[in-house]
């Protein structure tokens, strides 16, 4: 291990590697019951003098971590709502000793009824929120429909699998509390810790460490870990290192929220849309953090990008006794797109129209009215993305051939030749927070041009990889006409950089890059009229033309959007139902592409993450919670066999602003994959993950 001073001299550092000679370890004591009243939380008998035991009673400030108006306790006091919920902290010089002592903590429980994976939308006790959006007259249109198609679609949880488990290192420096945190939102960590400790913000400093690829798993949870470590530091006056084990992290931290989505669709005689009714139920676990943002984003894309004048969407969140289920890349969009695109495949089959033909008739075109009443600004047909995806994948010919093969297999029962299938899906991504969320959260950056023609970028945004940093450096160097090696990024320290808000929803590429361009253009105008150094700060503002009502779900929800057409071809073993991916084609319409190489890497990473969720990433939550067996058997998407991937970018690559692409593949790939497996196996799959076991189960149910 290296000292903190040595670590800060290097480009890359993790909290696991940090130490100070007199540091202590922190360890979290967790609930053993998913839902129980707590009568007492007491230290183990014979607690050594060198070990401290902390409960909610030792919290000097507010015992809550708050995210956009929703909150959870720092340490549970009177009731626990999920297995693994933090109850107390043990602090001492030996982590091994703390882990043993945690097994002997005395907690008085009174177990209560438990709800885990079951969706209970009609039970008022579990229903957290309920929104309805209606356009036209969906009931009347449904009654007049020539044909009605129904489908129910379910998605399960997914683990983030970030580079380092949740962690925090807290020490003292010049009478201030200094927190090293692996976070996507440094100022949220600072504000949360100050609230918990009841200290002024100037007495708390947060320094960001490497977060790696997080899939938004380190958006708000690091604030909870930092609060625990800061409490231990306050109680002992010693540096505190609190790092979760991999198993502890897997079992107790937030995951992608499971969903249940029901589609009821009315068609005319030609199989085209006349009415759509969608019911979304999102399982947010024990604490509904970020649930409003997630649910509204799901509502916006609940019908996919299909043109229908009569729509009703009901979206609701239910609380269950799982760990918090919320922040994951896309904030729920992937669940909604999977259901919409899987249902579209079912509609095309019922209407006896090939899926690409049905989509070409029913997808929104530029200028048509969207679900929220605004004009459709993107058109995969006009950009060329649609034609490229179909032609390069040879979709029409292959789909027809595989349909014929499927019929012959049913007649001949031939298990020697692997079955093939091909699926197509259209999905998108809205950049930044919905509506005027960007104004509420805010984002600020600064650029300083020195006399030596050195430029310094000051932002608290946390890039998931060096590609984003590269884009920032290239942007500043290009506008200010300085050498790229003369552009530096200030260390992310809440004392030294402005608050750039949470690093999520492609804000680093869209919001932060646009602010950097604004700073540089302002410096460029002043450069030869004012002496150097010149520093300019810019704050994000929602354009005046952007009108949005959260209550009515009307207007333009996002400042920018991008689109993807995904085609996947698979081969399925007729005996084992194991699936091999033969090819993936992705056509991306995302405006100006700032760095082609980095954009392709981002899309490819999203492909594997989406395939992992769609194909085999399973977490089995029971009333007793998950277990080490689930942790050992969890297979991440990166272990899949590498398929052939073709990616092409469309749209205006020069003048239009850059749009987010981080979540595009995560939203488009799962639906295309499941649709392909459905054709190959002849089993209509309506769940994620679509495992071989699920195919076999559906075969047995017939």
- Mean pLDDT, residues 189-204 taken together: 98
Residue 410: Cβ-neighbour burial (10 angstroms; 0-12, 13-18, 19+): exposed
CA distance 295 to 276: 18
Mean pLDDT of 60-66: 98
Q: Is residue 655 a part of any domain in this protein? A: yes
- Whether 444 and 388 share a structural domain: no
Across 639-652, average pLDDT: 79
Residue pLDDT, tens place only, 297-355: 999 999 999 999 999 999 999 999 999 998 899 999 999 999 999 999 999 999 999 99
The CA-atom distances, in angstroms, between 300 and each of 121, 219, 609 are 20, 23, 23
Looking at residue 414, what is its pLDDT? 58
Long-range contacts of 625-630 (CB under 8 A, 24+ apart): 625/34, 625/82, 625/83, 625/84, 625/251, 626/83, 626/250, 626/251, 627/251, 628/247, 628/251, 630/250, 630/251
d(CA 641, CA 612): 11
Residue 639: predicted pLDDT: 45
What is the pLDDT at residue 7? 47
Look at residue 449 and tell me if it is in a domain. Answer: yes
CATH number at residue 505: 3.30.365.10
Residue position matching structure tokens 């994948």: 393
**3-class SS at 440?**
helix
Domain boundary, last residue among 539, 569, 588 = 539
- In this predicted structure, which of 117-131, 191-205, 497-511 has the lowest mean pLDDT? 117-131
Say how many domains are in the chain: 3
Token pair of 454 as six digits: 């050195």
**95 with 194, same domain?**
yes
Look at residue 3 in the predicted model and tell me its pLDDT. 55
Is 189 among the domain residues? yes
pLDDT for 547? 81
294 and 402 belong to one structural domain: yes
Both 524 and 673 in one domain: the answer is no
Q: Is 464 helix (H, G, I), strand (E, B) or coil?
A: coil
386: its two tokens:
């649609």
137 domain-assigned: no
Both 524 and 572 in one domain: the answer is no
Q: How far, in Å, CA of 664 to CA of 669, rounded?
A: 8
Separation of alpha carbons 589 and 461, rounded Å: 25
Angle, alpha carbons 41-239-100 (nearest 5°) = 40
Tell which residue, 501, 505, 512, has the closest CA to residue 471: 512
Q: What is the pTM of this model?
A: 0.94
Among 59-73, 260-274, 387-401, 454-468, the range scoring the smallest mean pLDDT is 454-468
User: Does residue 483 share a domain with residue 345?
Assistant: no
Do 508 and 579 sit in the same domain of this protein?
no
| Residue 657 pLDDT exceeds 90 | no
Residue 124 lies in a domain: no
Q: Who has greater pLDDT, 596 or 26?
A: 26
- H or E stretch including 132? strand 127-135
Residue 390: partners with Cβ closer than 8 Å, 6 or more residues away: 356, 396, 424, 567
Note whether 574 and 415 are within 8 A (CB): yes
pLDDT digits 0-9 by tens, 562-599: 999 999 999 998 888 899 999 999 999 998 888 888 89
197: three-class secondary structure by DSSP: helix
Average pLDDT estimate for 444-448: 98
Alpha helices in 276-332 (DSSP H): 291-300
Domain assignment present for 129: no
Q: Report the pLDDT value the prediction gives residue 627, as an integer from 0 to 100.
A: 62
Q: Has residue 666 got a pLDDT over 80?
A: yes
- Beta-strand pair 255-256/325-326: parallel
Shared domain check, 180 and 266: no
Q: DSSP letter string over 659-677? A: ---TTHHHHHHHHHHHHHH
Residue 518: per-residue pLDDT: 96
For residue 131, tell me if it sits in a domain.
no
- Among 162-171, 233-242, 459-468, the range scoring the smallest mean pLDDT is 459-468
Q: Is the pLDDT of residue 638 over 80?
A: no
589 φ/ψ angles, rounded to the nearest 5 degrees: -115, 95
pLDDT at 621 over 80: no
Identify the pLDDT of residue 411.
Answer: 55
How many CA atoms are closer than 13 Å to the CA of 376, on its beta-carbon side? Answer: 22
pLDDT at 125 over 50: yes
Distances (CA, A) of 492 to 181, 316, 463, 489, 633: 11, 37, 11, 8, 37
pLDDT of res. 595? 86
Neighbours of 375 (CB within 10 A): 11
Q: How far, CA to CA in Å, does 692 sit from each of 392, 571, 632, 695? A: 28, 12, 19, 5
* Length of the chain (residues): 702
Whether the CB-CB separation of 63 and 87 falls below 8 Å is answered with no
> Same domain for 413 and 445?
no
- Local confidence band at 417 (pLDDT 50, 70, 90 cut-offs): confident
List Cα–Cα distances, 197 to 183, 298, 521, in angstroms: 19, 36, 41
Which pLDDT belongs to residue 80?
96
Greater model confidence, 411 or 417: 417
Residues pairing with 38 in the sheet? 109
Question: What value, to the nearest 5°, has the Cα angle with vertex 313 and ends 678 and 353?
Answer: 35
pLDDT, residue 8, reads: 45
Residues 58, 192, single domain; the answer is: yes
| Residues 520, 577 within the same domain | no
The verdict on 322 and 405 lying in the same domain is yes
Q: Are 672 and 425 in contact (CB under 8 A)?
A: yes
Instruction: State percent of the chain over pLDDT 90.
Output: 76
| 16, 449, 522 from 525: Cα distances, Å | 45, 12, 5
Last residue in a domain, options 480, 508, 539: 539
Residue that terminates a domain, selected from 207, 236, 252? 252
Residue 136 domain-assigned (yes or no):
no
Look-up of token digits 């999977």: 338
3-class DSSP state of 504: coil
Closest C-alpha among 654, 636, 645 to residue 602:
645
Measured at the CA of 185, the angle between CA 179 and CA 190, to 5 degrees, comes to 40
In angstroms, rounded to a whole number, what is the distance separating the alpha carbons of residues 505 and 512? 12
List b or e across 218-228, with b for residues whose CB sees 16 or more CB atoms inside 10 angstroms. bbbbbbbbbbb
pLDDT band, very low/low/confident/very high, at 702 (cuts 50, 70, 90): low
Mean pLDDT of all residues belonging to the chain: 91
Going along 406-494, which residue ranges are E strands?
419-430, 444-449, 455-458, 487-489
Return the HEC string of 32-64.
CCCCEEEEEEECCCCCCCCCEEECHHHCCCCCC
Number of CB atoms found within 10 A of residue 572's CB:
23
Q: Domain limits at 63?
A: 2-113+161-252
Is 293 a residue whose pLDDT tops 80? yes
pLDDT in tens, 267-277: 999 999 999 99
pLDDT of residue 289: 95
Gap between the Cα atoms of 171 and 241, Å rounded:
9
Q: How far apart are CA 75 and CA 28, in angstroms?
A: 10
């Amino acid at each position: 291990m290296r000292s903190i001073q040595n670590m800060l001299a290097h480009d890359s550092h993790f909290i696991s590697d940090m130490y100070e000679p007199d540091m202590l370890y922190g360890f979290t004591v967790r609930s053993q019951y998913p839902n129980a009243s707590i009568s007492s939380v007491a230290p183990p008998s014979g607690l050594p003098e060198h070990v401290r035991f902390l409960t909610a009673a030792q919290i000097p400030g507010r015992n809550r971590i708050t995210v956009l108006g929703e909150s959870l306790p720092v340490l549970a006091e009177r009731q626990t709502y999920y297995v693994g919920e933090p109850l107390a902290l043990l602090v001492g010089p030996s982590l091994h000793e703390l882990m043993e002592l945690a097994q002997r903590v005395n907690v008085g429980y009174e177990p209560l009824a438990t709800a885990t994976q079951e969706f209970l939308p009609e039970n008022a006790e579990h229903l957290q929120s309920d929104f309805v959006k209606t356009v036209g007259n969906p009931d009347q249109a449904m009654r007049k429909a020539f044909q009605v198609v129904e489908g129910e679609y379910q998605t399960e949880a997914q683990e983030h699998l970030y580079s380092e488990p949740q962690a925090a290192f807290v020490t003292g420096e010049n009478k201030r509390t200094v927190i090293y945190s692996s976070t996507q939102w440094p100022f949220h960590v600072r504000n949360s810790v100050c609230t918990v400790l009841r200290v002024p913000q100037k007495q708390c400093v947060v320094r960001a460490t490497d977060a790696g690829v997080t899939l938004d798993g380190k958006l708000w949870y690091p604030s909870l870990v930092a609060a625990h470590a800061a409490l231990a530091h306050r109680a002992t006056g010693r540096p505190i290192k609190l790092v979760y084990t991999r198993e502890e992290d897997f079992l107790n931290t937030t995951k992608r929220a499971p969903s249940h989505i029901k589609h009821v669709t009315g068609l005319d005689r030609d199989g085209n849309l006349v009415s759509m009714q969608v019911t979304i139920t999102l399982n947010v676990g024990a604490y509904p953090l970020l649930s409003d943002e997630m649910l509204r984003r799901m509502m916006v894309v609940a019908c996919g990008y299909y043109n229908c004048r009569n729509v009703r969407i009901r979206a609701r969140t239910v609380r269950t006794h799982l760990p918090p289920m919320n922040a994951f890349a896309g904030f729920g969009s992937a669940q909604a797109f999977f259901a919409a695109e899987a249902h579209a495949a079912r509609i095309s089959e019922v209407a006896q129209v090939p899926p690409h033909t049905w989509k070409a008739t029913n997808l929104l075109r530029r200028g048509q009215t969207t679900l929220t009443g605004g004009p459709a600004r993107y058109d995969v047909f006009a950009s060329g993305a649609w034609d490229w995806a179909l032609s390069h994948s040879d979709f029409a010919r292959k789909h027809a051939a595989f349909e014929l093969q499927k019929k012959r297999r049913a007649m001949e029962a031939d298990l020697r030749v692997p079955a093939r299938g091909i699926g197509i899906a259209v999905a998108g991504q809205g950049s930044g927070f919905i509506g005027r969320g960007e104004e509420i959260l805010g984002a600020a950056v600064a650029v300083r041009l020195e006399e030596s023609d050195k430029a310094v970028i000051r932002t608290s945004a946390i890039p998931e990889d060096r590609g984003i940093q590269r884009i920032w450096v290239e942007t500043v160097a290009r506008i200010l006409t300085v050498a790229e090696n003369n552009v530096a990024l200030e260390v992310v320290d809440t004392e030294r950089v402005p608050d750039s808000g949470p690093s999520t929803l492609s804000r680093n590429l869209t919001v932060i890059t646009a602010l950097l361009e604004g700073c540089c253009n302002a410096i460029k105008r002043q450069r030869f009229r004012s002496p150097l150094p010149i520093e300019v700060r810019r704050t994000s503002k929602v354009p005046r033309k952007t009108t949005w009502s959260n209550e009515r779900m009307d207007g333009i929800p996002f400042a920018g959007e991008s689109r993807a057409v995904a085609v996947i071809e698979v081969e399925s073993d007729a005996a084992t139902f194991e699936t091999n991916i033969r090819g993936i084609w992705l056509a991306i319409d995302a405006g100006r592409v700032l760095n082609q190489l980095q954009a392709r890497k981002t899309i490819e990473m999203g492909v594997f993450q989406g395939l992992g969720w769609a194909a085999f990433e399973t977490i089995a939550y029971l009333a007793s919670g998950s277990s080490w067996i689930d942790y050992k058997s969890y297979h991440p998407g990166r272990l899949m066999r590498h398929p052939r991937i073709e990616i092409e970018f469309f749209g205006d690559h020069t003048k239009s602003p850059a749009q987010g692409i981080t979540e595009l593949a995560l939203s488009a790939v799962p639906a295309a994959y499941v649709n392909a497996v459905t054709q190959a196996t002849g089993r209509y799959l309506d769940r994620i993950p679509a495992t071989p076991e699920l195919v076999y189960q559906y075969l047995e149910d017939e």
